[in-house]
Structure 1
Amino acid sequence: MTRFLLIILFFVVSLLSVFKAPAYYFWLLAILVTEYPLIFAGITAALTISGIWVKKYQLAGTIAGIVTIIVFLSPVIKAYLIGYDLKNDLNKAFYTNTNDNQPPFSFSKLFAGNMVVDNKSLTYITYADTALTLDYYPSQIAGKKPCVVVIHGGSWSGGNSKQLPELNSYLAGKGYNVASINYRLAPKHLDPAPREDVQNAIKYLTAHAAELQIDTNNFVLLGRSAGAQIALLSAYTLCNKNIKGVIDFYGPADMVWGYSVPANPLVLNSRAVMEAYLGGTYTKVPQNYEQSSPIRFVDQSSVPTLIIHGENDVLVAYEHSDKLNNKLNDAGVAHYWLKLTWATHGFDYNLNGPGGQLSTYAVTHFLSAVTKP
């Protein structure tokens, strides 16, 4: 009986690979379920095999166990299918002809670890009330190289430059300088303060380009969640010809629409988060919501854009990326939308998980396409 109940419990957990998480802690569990699927599938397999010795509900438990294993492994299967065409799709989107031998998804990589690159903290701007720092990951390939400016998430009121450092190290290993920046946070600092911080970070990196070995003609912005909104808005409004592209990990692209369709309150009070960042409700300060919506600033001159979003995202609605994708299509801007049907917010916590592998491949391909000597 215990075996059967445990298998049923794991079956319920496996459904987080298919459906959206109903509450905050289930969302955290969903990240683990979808990006570390072999662990959950392995435990379920052990319970299923134990049916050799446990006779009660043996057949029912075995059937339920097999179904549960398949559901746990569904992100792996889906990632393989998406990866099969990903290289060609990216080549078509960005007019490239990459013939690298690295597959977008590899089953063996699910067992791999991550490299670590030493980084240093640098103060890039000092205001009257605060000093802002960035973590600098130098390229591991000699010479002047492009620089990726990473903007962290955290609902505009939290988080810091230490967030998810694995991709920073990976990109440094591939020959990119990476500057993961801190910015002024809400509610003390409202939009457009973070955009000003991005601009000042680029100014600092440009001024110190010789010592940091930065190719100042090639900056790319990369943001996650709230940081993606800042990255998109900065890329589309700063009018800096040296910003060659922007990478959007599950960011809110339409703040007006986002306020009208809030997230599940059991996961996040998204309206309160937006009000703290923009200085009030939409009714009170509609212009702030308009001016902070990246989608409003897309036009034919916008930089190439890579969108990455999981369909089961419960913090930032998948529709944000759909709206941005449509606007970029209408404007004729080179872009690609990597759709991960099983993934939730923060799926890239594990670079070697199904979503982590595909997104990392897409990021490196995009950087190669938009940064030119």
Structure 2
Amino acid sequence: MPRLIFLFLLFLASLLMLISAPAYYLWLLAVMVGEYGLLFIAATLVILTSGGLIKSKYNIVGTFTGILALGMFMSPIIRAYLISRQLPSNIEKELNLQTDHRVEPFTFSKLFQKDATLNYKTFTYANYPDISLTLDFYAAQTKVKRPCVIVIHGGSWSSGDSQQLPELNTVLAGKGYQVASINYRLAPKWHNPAPVEDVRAALIYLKKHADELRIDTNNFVLVGRSAGAQIALLAAYTLKEPGIKGVIDFYGPADMVWGYSLPAPKLVMDSRRVMANYLGGYYPQVPQNYKASSPVEFVNAQTVPTLIIHGANDPLVAYDHSRRLSDKLQQYHIPHYWLKLPWATHGFDHHLNGPGGQLSTYAVERFLERVAPVKGAN
């Protein structure tokens, strides 16, 4: 009986690969199941083989349940492999980029590797009367100026910091990019457009110190996750900074007006309250603020190339945000690529060597090659 119970619980966890998590802690579990699936596969196999030769209805039902769970735990790995077969050619087509087909978007062996992190230096880039803002700088090993990636963290516009998910920063610095992960002014004390103004301030600081930091000021790319993606998109589309060559959107809310009409499940997050804290009120009170903070409203013929990355099982930021942004970019013939991850949830890139993490990192590297390539020797 205990065997059946454990296998049934694993089966319930595996269902998170098919449906969006209905509650906050189940969402956290979904991140683990999707990107650390080897742990769940191992646990299922251990319990499955513990039945021995005992023949009982509980054992038979447990074995059947465990096999179903095992299949669903393996599905992200299988689907990542299948997506990876077409990913290089799809990116080539959408971004007009010749990719190196010797680089594999996904490998099974990488699932066993630990994500690496690099040391960084912290600089104060803006001083306001009531707060000073810092950035963490991950330096590429180079003596010449290189493109700079500015990373904007998530956290519902009210939490999080520049040290969130540093693994991608390490990867990009290893590829020759200078990386600046910034802090910005948080809600509810500060409202939009304060964070976008902070991005501008970071750009000014990085340009001013470009010689000592070895930054190519003609080549900046913005990267944002969740709330940070909304900031990154809005900054890239509205600042009119010629040095911004592209923007990367990890599961960001691109249409704040539409997003208010389709809130996240309350047990996961009170998204309307979160938006109200950021925009100074609920939509009926300040509708103009919601429109002014919606990146889709600012897409035009001059919009910079965009990479969109989103998991279909995201319970915090609806998948349709990315569809709406992709459609608007398509309308204006803006070079862009939307990496769709059918099993993935919000924050899937917590583990860069997981199925979704490998595919998204590959897409980010190829996109950067397209919009801000690293040139020349170190």
Query: Shorter-chain TM-score: what band?
Result: over 0.9
**Partners of 2:159 and 2:186 within 8 A in 1:** yes
The CA distance in 2 between the partners of 1:142 and 1:309, in whole Å, is: 36
**Partners of 1:141 and 1:173 within 8 A in 2:** no
The CA distance in 2 between the partners of 1:3 and 1:293, in whole Å, is: 50
Structural mapping, 1:78-117, within 5 Å? 78-117=79-118
**Secondary structure of the structure 1 residue equivalent to 2:205:** helix
C-alpha displacement of 1:125: 0.7
The CA distance in 2 between the partners of 1:116 and 1:29, in whole Å, is: 24
Structural mapping, 1:330-369, within 5 Å? 330-369=331-370
C-alpha displacement of 1:51: 1.6
**Partners of 2:88 and 2:101 within 8 A in 1:** no
| Corresponding residue for residue 36 of structure 2 | 36
Structural mapping, 1:290-309, within 5 Å? 290-309=291-310
The CA distance in 2 between the partners of 1:107 and 1:141, in whole Å, is: 32
Structural mapping, 1:120-269, within 5 Å? 120-269=121-270
Which blocks of at least 5 consecutive residues in structure 1 are unaligned?
Answer: none
Query: CA deviation digits over 1:35-55, x for unaligned, max 9?
Result: 001110110011111121544
**Partners of 2:152 and 2:181 within 8 A in 1:** yes
Structural mapping, 1:17-56, within 5 Å? 17-56=17-56
C-alpha displacement of 1:9: 1.1
**Partners of 2:17 and 2:30 within 8 A in 1:** yes
C-alpha displacement of 1:113: 1.5
The CA distance in 1 between the partners of 2:116 and 2:189, in whole Å, is: 36
**Secondary structure of the structure 2 residue equivalent to 1:248:** strand
**Secondary structure of the structure 2 residue equivalent to 1:246:** strand
C-alpha displacement of 1:62: 1.9
Aligned residue type for 2:147 = P
**Partners of 1:153 and 1:159 within 8 A in 2:** yes
**Partners of 1:325 and 1:337 within 8 A in 2:** yes
**Secondary structure of the structure 2 residue equivalent to 1:52:** coil
RMSD: 1.0
The CA distance in 1 between the partners of 2:229 and 2:365, in whole Å, is: 17
**Partners of 1:114 and 1:170 within 8 A in 2:** no
| Corresponding residue for residue 5 of structure 2 | 5
TM-score of the superposed pair, with normalisation by structure 1: 0.98
The CA distance in 2 between the partners of 1:227 and 1:34, in whole Å, is: 22
The CA distance in 1 between the partners of 2:244 and 2:101, in whole Å, is: 25
C-alpha displacement of 1:143: 2.1
Aligned residue type for 2:281 = G
Aligned residue type for 2:63 = T
C-alpha displacement of 1:101: 1.6
C-alpha displacement of 1:150: 0.3
The CA distance in 2 between the partners of 1:159 and 1:204, in whole Å, is: 22
**Secondary structure of the structure 1 residue equivalent to 2:240:** coil
Aligned residue type for 2:76 = P
Aligned residue type for 2:81 = Y
Aligned residue type for 1:331 = Y
Instruction: Identify the range of structure 1 (343-352 vs 92-101) with the bigger mean alpha-carbon deviation.
Output: 92-101
TM-score of the superposed pair, with normalisation by structure 2: 0.97
The CA distance in 1 between the partners of 2:236 and 2:158, in whole Å, is: 21
**Secondary structure of the structure 2 residue equivalent to 1:149:** strand
Which blocks of at least 5 consecutive residues in structure 2 are unaligned?
Answer: none
| Corresponding residue for residue 328 of structure 1 | 329
Aligned residue type for 2:91 = L
Instruction: Identify the range of structure 1 (322-331 vs 45-54) with the bigger mean alpha-carbon deviation.
Output: 45-54
**Secondary structure of the structure 1 residue equivalent to 2:241:** coil
Aligned residue type for 2:33 = V
**Partners of 1:232 and 1:248 within 8 A in 2:** yes
| Corresponding residue for residue 63 of structure 1 | 64
C-alpha displacement of 1:63: 2.0
**Secondary structure of the structure 2 residue equivalent to 1:219:** strand
The CA distance in 2 between the partners of 1:277 and 1:54, in whole Å, is: 59
The CA distance in 1 between the partners of 2:150 and 2:174, in whole Å, is: 16
Query: CA deviation digits over 1:267-315, x for unaligned, max 9?
Result: 0000000001101111111110110000000011100000000000000
The CA distance in 2 between the partners of 1:194 and 1:79, in whole Å, is: 34
The CA distance in 1 between the partners of 2:88 and 2:291, in whole Å, is: 36
Identity level (%)? 59
The CA distance in 2 between the partners of 1:141 and 1:112, in whole Å, is: 26
**Partners of 1:35 and 1:356 within 8 A in 2:** yes
The CA distance in 1 between the partners of 2:197 and 2:22, in whole Å, is: 36
Decide whether aligned partners of structure 1 residues 216 and 252 sit closer, same or farther in structure 2, where only a CA change above 3 A counts. Answer: same
The CA distance in 2 between the partners of 1:36 and 1:264, in whole Å, is: 25
User: How many residue pairs end up in the alignment?
Assistant: 373
Query: CA deviation digits over 1:220-241, x for unaligned, max 9?
Result: 0000000000000000000011
C-alpha displacement of 1:116: 2.3
Aligned residue type for 2:264 = A
